[in-house]
Each structure stands twice: as C-alpha cells, then as structure tokens.
Amino acid sequence: MTGNGEKKKAAPNDRSFTKGLSPLQLIEIDACTQCGECLKYCPVQDVTGNPLISPPEKIRVFREFIKATDGLKARLLGPQLIDRKLLEDFTKAVYECTTCGACGQHCTVGIFTQRLWPMLRKEMVRRGLGPIGPQVNLPKVIGETGNPYNRLAAERFAPWFPEHVKVVDRADIGYYAGCTGAYEATPMVRGDVLVLGAIGEPFTMLPAEDEVCCGFPLFITGQHDMLEDLVSRLVAAYQAKAVKTLLCSCPCCVNIMSRDWPLFYKKELPFKIRHITQFVAASMKSGKLAIKRELRERLIYHDPCYLSRGVGIMEEPRAVLRGIPGAELLEFDRNRLESRCCGAGGAARKIFSENAIEMGRHTIAEAVEKKADKLVLSCPACYAKVNEAMVGYDKQIEIVDIMELLAKMIEAVDSGTP
Ligand code: SF4
Ligand code: SF4
C-alpha cells in the first residue's frame, strides 16, 4: 500500500533484491556461515520450531534471491524468475520474527540483525509482498488519525493524564507519551507524568492532535513512505516549543528517534533524545527526586529488546529500582544485552498473538520461579502483551511498569499512606 492506501504495483519476481540494502548489509548477508549459534537464542524459534523462521535460513533464502537476480549466471544469461510461493513463505517468516536482535547479539560474525530484518521487510513491501495482515492499513490509519490504533486524538491524553500535573507551553524538557503508552498501556504513561511532576522541572508536551506517531510501526513493517513527513512535523513542533531534551518511555520510540530520525530529518536533531529512566536516574542521583517510602519486595526487571540491545540503556532502569529503599533487585538468567524477548516486538504481537503469548509466559514463569514479588517492565508493548499472557495462565505475578511503580511510591508519601 502507499501512504494513500493505494495498492503498490508488485515488482516482477526477477528484479534485483539488493536495491534497499546498504553495502554493509550485503556483506552481512554474504558473511553468515550458517553456524546456527544464533538459533539457541531465538525466542520465535523456541515457540514455533519452524525452521523457515530461523535467522540462518532467512539469510540463506534471501541470498538465493540475490543469486537468482544479481549473481554471475543472472548477469550472463539474464535474471531467473523466483517461485511466488517461496517469496510468500519468506515474507511470512521475516514478519513472524519479533526483531528482538538476540540472534545478532550472539552472531559469530557480528551481523546486526535487529537492523537487517526490517530492511528485508522493506524489500518485500517494495515487491508488493509485504507487509502482512492488517499491517497494510497502517499508513492510511496513521495518516488519518495520527496513531496506528485508529483512535481519536481526543482520547490520547484525557483518560489518564493526572489533573494536578502542570504542563508548560515552552520548556527545555519535552515529554512524548507515544501511541502505545497513551492508548494501550496508560498506567505507564500516567506514571511517567506523575514522576516528572514530582521531580518538579518544567516540561512541555504537544497538543494531542500534534503528538502523532513517531514512525516506528511504519519503519518496522517496511513501509517507509510517510516517515520523512512524520519526523519533520514532530521535530518542527518540538523546536517551536524550545525543547532541548525530549523524553520518552517507549523503547521503540526512543530507538527510532535516536537512530533513524536524523536520517529522515537529513541532519542532526535540534534536541537530545533521552529515555525517561535516564532522566529519572539522574534526578535521583542529584537529589531532585528521593523515594522515602520503603518497599520490602523482590523486583525482577525485564530489559526491553529495543532499549537494551537497541540503544544500550540497561543500567539506568536498575539505578532507579535500587533507589527504592528496601527493594531487592533480581535478574533474569538472560539479562541486559542478552535479554530474552517477551514476545511483543516487531509489530508481530497482534498478528502472531499466540507466539507472543507463549513468549510472554516464559518471562512470567521465570519471574515466578525466581520468587519475585513484582515483574517490572519498561515498555508499553511488553506491558500490554505480558499482561495479556497472564490471563488464564497458571503462574501469576504482579506486573508493573517502572514509572508506574515509582509514581505509586511517591503518591503514597504525598497522601500520607504508610
Ligand atoms: S530477531 Fe529475535 S525473533 Fe527474530 S530471528 Fe533473531 S532472535 Fe529470532
Ligand atoms: S550466528 Fe550469525 S553466522 Fe551463525 S548462523 Fe546465525 S546469523 Fe549466521
């Protein structure tokens, strides 16, 4: 589909597959030794056992596509036609991946898979084969409503925004709630705003109708046509509010803002991007925010893939949790850069919902096994899906977002609750 929702003309099956890939990505595809080391860490492989989804198989098949259209034989005798079924099966496999990047983290030759898979998706969109299912409606829905959930701008902040927290018109600090938090994980964004209010530094926000999608759902499903427009609108709007640091709690937003916004904006951004835990950890360190109430509980923190492997933010959330008096911090066996995907990423959580629920249950089961009192998350997609995974599951644990938890500790002191 185009940004206007019109059907894009499919590329013939014998046209080059290398157009949208960087020279480094072409080298990466060539470099895979098929050693299979990454397979041990793939969460989708774990729950489906489907060999087509495995990282080396996706790379092997894509390599065959390149060979058929750009290899020596193709250059001498003309490109070969690729079987349509093979292309369709590959497309499904590349969209079933959660793009968690665990395979890249453990890749013996250092392939940056968290970036490679979305680029392969983009190629399948260019060929008229991707995206899949309702993802095809994303450009139209985002174009019409500003968010991927087809919700009204009037519902973006109003249902959860705490009345007593003041937002100023212009400030050095801007806060971007993000679509998933605002519509699907409201305790999380409410927690963000309550904590910002408690820190007390003035912050600004865009009006709900101007806080449009950051572009991540389009980027990750390979539909890049609208990205330049969305990014330039948002950057100009925050610039007009004199923002110098833009805060956000959604790892996917923070990831695209820091890694890709400068590419779509075509120059350096006029402000810094920070995950909310970076700002809050610094405020706790400088004494601007102190948690006075004790929490005698065992907390286990799950590193979101796009926050840890994506942008390297792993210690700040832990510093925030260690700042809660009495709390004991536990770790998953796989933590930080090696974190195991909870199943919610890569725009796959709604289409491949059963996979996502099973992956989320692995996270819940380990937290329960380690006797944690609370499973602490820091991503709205994880929050929505892991909560869903708990429904009907025989293992139960309290799930809480990191800022939701902190806000509860602050509110309890403010209201005098012991
Ligand atoms: S990115 Fe994650 S889900 Fe996708 S192939 Fe790699 S390990 Fe598997
Ligand atoms: S670890 Fe790297 S080189 Fe080995 S199969 Fe996986 S992607 Fe290929």
Mean pLDDT throughout 381-409? 97
339 touches ligand 1 (CB under 6 Å):
no
Nearest protein CA to atom 6 of ligand 1, as residue: 103
Mean pLDDT throughout 316-333? 98
CA of 107 to the centre of ligand 2 (A): 5
pLDDT at position 11 is: 66
CA of 103 to the centre of ligand 2 (A): 7
99 touches ligand 1 (CB under 6 Å):
yes
pLDDT at position 413 is: 53
Nearest protein CA to atom 5 of ligand 1, as residue: 55
Cα 181 from Cα 404, distance rounded (Å): 12
- Position 9 confidence tier, pLDDT thresholds 50, 70, 90: low
44 touches ligand 1 (CB under 6 Å):
yes
Question: Exposed/middle/buried for 83, CB within 10 Å: 0-12, 13-18, 19+?
Answer: exposed
Has residue 416 got a pLDDT over 70?
no
pLDDT at position 102 is: 97
Cα 100 from Cα 69, distance rounded (Å): 29
- Position 2 confidence tier, pLDDT thresholds 50, 70, 90: very low
Cα 360 from Cα 50, distance rounded (Å): 18
pLDDT at position 153 is: 98
Beta strand 298-301 pairing with 272-275: unpaired
CA of 11 to the centre of ligand 1 (A): 27
Lining residues, ligand 2, CB within 6 Å: 32-38, 55-56, 59, 103, 107-109, 111
Has residue 4 got a pLDDT over 50?
no
CA of 29 to the centre of ligand 2 (A): 10
- Position 411 confidence tier, pLDDT thresholds 50, 70, 90: confident
Domains of the chain with CATH codes: 23-130 (1.10.1060), 135-282 (no CATH), 294-414 (3.40.50)
Mean pLDDT throughout 282-287? 97
Cis peptide before 251 (omega within 30 of 0): no
Looking at ligand 1, which atom is closest to the CA of residue 58?
A: 5
Most informative mutation of 100, 108, 116 for ligand 2 (most atoms within 8 A of CB):
108
Least confident of 74-88, 207-221, 303-317: 74-88
Mean pLDDT throughout 109-126? 97
397 touches ligand 1 (CB under 6 Å):
no
Q: What letter would DSSP give residue 25?
A: H
Q: pLDDT tens across 178-214, in order? A: 999 999 999 999 999 999 999 999 999 999 999 999 9
pLDDT at position 7 is: 45
Short-list 38, 37, 39, CA closest to 48: 39
Q: What letter would DSSP give residue 289?
A: S
Of 19 and 104, the structure prediction assigns the larger pLDDT to 104
Residue 119: CB atoms within 10 A of its CB come to 14
Q: What letter would DSSP give residue 303?
A: P
Least confident of 35-44, 148-157, 368-377, 408-417: 408-417
Looking at ligand 1, which atom is closest to the CA of residue 113?
A: 1
Mean pLDDT of the chain: 94
The residues near 224 (Cβ < 8 Å, ≥ 6 apart) are: 122, 218
Q: pLDDT tens across 227-280, in order? A: 999 999 999 999 999 999 999 999 999 999 999 999 999 999 999 999 999 999
CA of 48 to the centre of ligand 1 (A): 12
